Amino acid sequence: MGVFRQIGWLIHKDLALQFRTKEMLALIIVFSVVVVLIFCFAFGPIFPEKLEERGKLAASVLWGTFLFAGIITLNRSFDIERANGALHGLRLTGVDASYFYLSKVVSIFVFLILLEVIVTPIALQFLDVLTILPVALQKELPWLLLKLIGVLAIGTLGFCAVGVIVSGISTNTDGTESLLSVILLPLTFPVIMAGAKCTVSLLTTGGLEGNFWISILIVYGLIFLASSSLLFEFVVEG
């Protein structure tokens, strides 16, 4: 019980910090929209006619955008912890490193999900995906969007699981931002592959029937959540 309360307070603190400065959310949303626009300008204005091609395009745009937005968020979050020795203050309370890890994963996850909920419809609209969906799917569009967000959520959780521990490491160096990308991106290739495939499947058939990709996303998240919450103690305590 005490565990969950402690984690809850840590998450509360993180979210308070993230939303304290409203510019951060605004900045990251604008960044994501701009990235989406870059893809649109590169591919547009006439997008592939076939639904599957369009779906692939949308999947790559969404996942690419959220990956970069995720890296920025991670960096920012750990900058706050490092600055002014806040992390040392946290350590002095005797809180377990794995609680800290889990709270960080959850708070960044929440932030990114919020971003995804806002940016996904915009991106789908810009790429004009919604109009060429089969009629059956168009009828239950909210349901489809919900499923899409669900897939994004599972992928984002995996991304956060790895991202938090890697940025916990890379924040100790000087060239933080570029270093984080170089180390983190190769580790997240499976998320991109699996996430994009799931997205394409959702946009073309409206479901994930006979699809192993979603289980890869889940397994990836579980493996890294488990291993990183054990390893995070070494990152924090040294």
Partner 1 sequence: MMLLQASQITKRFGNRIVLNGLDLNLRSGEVVTIFGPNGAGKTTLIQILSTLIKPTSGTLQIGGIDALAEALRARPSLGLVGHEPLAYLDLSPYENLKFFGRLYGLDGLEQRIADLLDEVQLIPYAHEPVKLFSRGMIQRFMIAKALIHDPMLLLFDEPFSGLDLAAKQFVLKRIDRERARGKGIVLTTHDTELGYHIGSRFHFLLDGQIERGAEKEDIGLEALAREYEDRLNRCQQR
Partner 2 sequence: MTRTQLIGLLSTIFLFVAIYFIFSFAEIEMTMLEVQKIFYFHISAAITVFLAFGVTCIFSILYLIKRGDTYDTIALVSTEIGIVFGVVVFTTGPIWARFAWNTWWNWEPRLTSALILWLTYIGYLILRSALAEEKKRIYSAVLGIIGFLNVPIVYFSVELWQGGLHPGTATKMNLPATMQTAWLISWLALTLLYLFLLMFRYRAEQMKLELGTIQYRQMNES
Q: How many CB atoms are closer than 10 A to CB 46?
A: 7
Residue 80 or 208 having the CB closest to partner 1: 80
Which residue, 8 or 44, has its beta carbon nearer to partner 1? 8
Minimum distance of partner 1 from residue 93's CB (angstroms): 4
How many residues bind partner 2, per CB under 8 A?
32
Q: Which of 105, 123, 194, 225 binds partner 2 (CB under 8 A)?
A: 194
Write each residue from 95 to 134 as x if it is in contact with partner 1 (CB under 8 A), else as -, in one continuous string: xx--------------------------------------
**What is the distance between the alpha carbons of residues 194 and 184, in angstroms, rounded to a whole number?**
17
The span of 9-17, 36-44, 67-75, 219-227 binding partner 1 (CB under 8 A) equals 9-17
Q: Is 179 in the site for partner 2 (CB under 8 A)?
A: yes
Number of residues near partner 1 (by CB under 8 A): 27
Position 178 contacts partner 1 (CB under 8 A):
no
- Minimum distance, C-beta of residue 165 to partner 1, in the bound complex (Å): 19
